[in-house]
Amino acid sequence: MKKIVLALVLFGCGDGLPDKDFGRECREYDELYSHSVLFCGGRTADNVEDVFLVCNPRRPHCDSRPDCVADLDLMRVEEGCEVQHVCWSE
């Protein structure tokens, strides 16, 4: 099920993945923030481990999106993995 949701998020409304990057990189508090992606072993679609939302640290917790990750710094990210925040294009 997780792979199906991931595929819909990645390819459902766009042209797929750009060759070099996954999307317009931004911060989780940017106005156009869409989602965050955990890559392990490189920034390609094959290396996506998880797709999730990060709570906006500049807003009260009660105003955050439901089911968001409250504190990215406390999230266990293994060596060789990185998180990229993706924003909608303007």
Residues 6+ apart with CB under 8 A from 86: 22, 23, 24, 25, 26, 33, 34, 35, 36, 37
- Looking at residue 16, its pLDDT comes to 44
Q: Total structural domains in the chain?
A: 1
Contact 37, 22 (CB under 8 A): yes
Q: CA 10 to CA 45: how far, in whole Å? A: 8
Model-level pTM?
Answer: 0.66
What is the structure's pLDDT at 74? Answer: 74
Range of the domain at 63: 2-87
What per-residue confidence (pLDDT) applies to 90?
A: 66
- Size of the chain in residues: 90
Residue with tokens 């999730």: 52
Q: Tens digit of pLDDT for each residue in 9-66?
A: 444 444 444 444 455 788 888 888 889 999 999 988 899 999 999 988 787 766 767 7
CA dihedral 4, 41, 56, 64 (to 10 degrees): 30
